Chain A
């Protein structure tokens, strides 16, 4: 890729300066070769043009190597408005000095009488304009490339967002949970009709939330926690005394925006991999704090006894998706980590930096 870019650059350099030289030579054929001393002048003028093209090419090449020009496309316009004229003037001046040295002592195109202040300045200005054209061409190419790259990146992000949303939707409507839940509710209808009714209400709320939550991407933590409570109470019907829940929520965290279904996914994991795998059950803890300018969110559970085979179809995809969504919605500063170092507690830890 980069060798291809170098090749394109070399072709542009050669082509551009070559074209400039060629058109100059053609012009001198038209205007100088026809005059009396034309033949002799034409030779030295052609030599001068060729040398000037070489020096121009070399100068711009050195400028490209030494100056961070490729980064200029990212600079604000105000900086560019200063940088571009300065660079052109400097390059033009150097080129003019080289041109004069070549023209006067080396090729004797001019006599000493030809030199005037205006002559020198006009020449310098001319070369500055040539350099400006070179620089503009160079920057345009890079601007276009940058724009295309940005567009591509945007598409990539959009596709990633859509894919994760799709996976997320599918993961939300967990059939296993849903049918187990309905089964419990059916048993409850005979055993405890009031609790059965309550369960149906909770299930409805949860389904409604799951179906609508692709609308707003983030929700206030308080809303997310309400969903989690509905979910936990339904799992509580299924798991009964095996599921113990503890909430430790700092009031100042309630308004903070979190990706919808994030805590839900973590709690679901805690139950699937921890509580449901243990015959005597265990505890799920949800803790939220504001610490060092960030929301700290922890979901901890008593892990399954060691040696328990992983539940089927659990390849950590839920956690991976949650992590991807988190970064997509809350920026690269947000993180999700699963801490399994403790034998008595598995903790999923989320950090979301707060806007300053």
Chain B
């Protein structure tokens, strides 16, 4: 497991390195001390796991994640931050309180290992051009790493996009066009200027007004395709 440590304090990084030395399968590939550097290091080193401090110069750990195209697994480290701690739905993101207990670290790493096996093939380094699989989203006080395969519908909100998940609709700091380019075209289809639908979630298709198609998605929403996209969809289906 290739780990990047992000913390602005040298001693805190040293302590983490010391703790991580006990795990033979963990390799510390780099360190970053602030938001900008962290982003660059993630892009350059593509680590499997980020040990990410929350309070840093130039922003928070969340700011690092929000702008990453392909966020790795994350374990937050924080001295004390009641709000931040509340922010995690624990099964999605883990956190460790400083000073870090070796046992808790082992637990968190184990969780990451398991998650890694479920979601990713063993060859973890992804060649460029592979479709985007998940994104980090922050909705008010909560944070998730969202598997995009589980998102039925994405709608456009100006320069941002809204993920329509059952129960919550977080905003993503990416445009719909950007997402369309990055997402797996076998799974996501641009239904209209406004909508990107997940084909795995399409339950029924009905003819709409003027030769268009209306897709009903599992879990409720109906999406009307534009005329042009309806045509394209029909062509694609007939192939």
Q: Which residues of A contact B (CB under 8 A)?
A: 175-180, 182-184, 186-188, 190-191, 237-240, 276-279, 304-305, 308-309, 311-313
Any chain A CB within 8 A of the CB of B219? no
16 contacts between A and B (CB under 8 A): A176-B55, A176-B80, A176-B81, A177-B79, A182-B99, A183-B11, A183-B12, A183-B79, A186-B15, A187-B15, A190-B18, A238-B11, A276-B55, A277-B57, A304-B57, A308-B57
Given A179-B98, A182-B99, A304-B57, 16 more pairs with CB closer than 8 A:
A177-B79, A178-B80, A179-B80, A183-B12, A186-B15, A187-B12, A191-B14, A238-B11, A240-B9, A277-B57, A277-B58, A308-B57, A309-B59, A309-B60, A312-B84, A313-B83
| B: interface residue count bin | 20 to 34
Question: Is the CB–CB distance between B57 and A276 below 8 Å?
Answer: yes
Question: Is the CB–CB distance between A187 and B11 below 8 Å?
Answer: yes
Any chain A CB within 8 A of the CB of B97? yes
Minimum Cβ distance to chain B for residue A52 (Å): 75
Nearest-CB residue, chain A, relative to B13: A187
Nearest-CB residue, chain A, relative to B84: A312
Residues of B within 8 A of A308 (CB): 57-59
With known contacts A175-B80, A179-B99, A180-B9, A279–B63 Cβ distance under 8 A: no
Point out the residue from B37, B80, B81, B99 that lies within 8 Å of A186, measured CB to CB. B99
Nearest-CB residue, chain A, relative to B58: A308
**How many contacts A-B (CB < 8 Å)?**
76
Q: Which 4 A-B pairs give the minimum distances between C-beta atoms?
A: A179-B79, A187-B15, A187-B11, A175-B80
Q: How far is the CA of A187 from the CA of B19 in the complex (A)?
A: 10
Any chain A CB within 8 A of the CB of B8? yes
Any chain A CB within 8 A of the CB of B10? yes
Q: How far is the CA of A190 from the CA of B21 in the complex (A)?
A: 14
Residues of B within 8 A of A184 (CB): 9, 11-12
Question: Is the CB–CB distance between B55 and A312 below 8 Å?
Answer: yes
Question: Is the CB–CB distance between B11 and A237 below 8 Å?
Answer: yes
Nearest-CB residue, chain B, relative to A307: B58
Point out the residue from B18, B57, B79 that lies within 8 Å of A175, measured CB to CB. B79
Residues of A within 8 A of B80 (CB): 175-176, 178-179
Point out the residue from B83, B97, B99 that lies within 8 Å of A312, measured CB to CB. B83
Minimum Cβ distance to chain B for residue A182 (Å): 5
Within 8 A of A (CB), among B22-56: 33-34, 37, 55
Residues of A within 8 A of B10 (CB): 240
Question: Is the CB–CB distance between B11 and A191 below 8 Å?
Answer: yes
Interface string of B53-90 (1 = CB under 8 A from A): 00101111001000000000000000111011000000
Question: Is the CB–CB distance between B33 and A279 below 8 Å?
Answer: yes
Residues of B within 8 A of A304 (CB): 57
Q: How far is the CA of A239 from the CA of B7 in the complex (A)?
A: 11
Minimum Cβ distance to chain B for residue A306 (Å): 11
Residues of A within 8 A of B33 (CB): 279
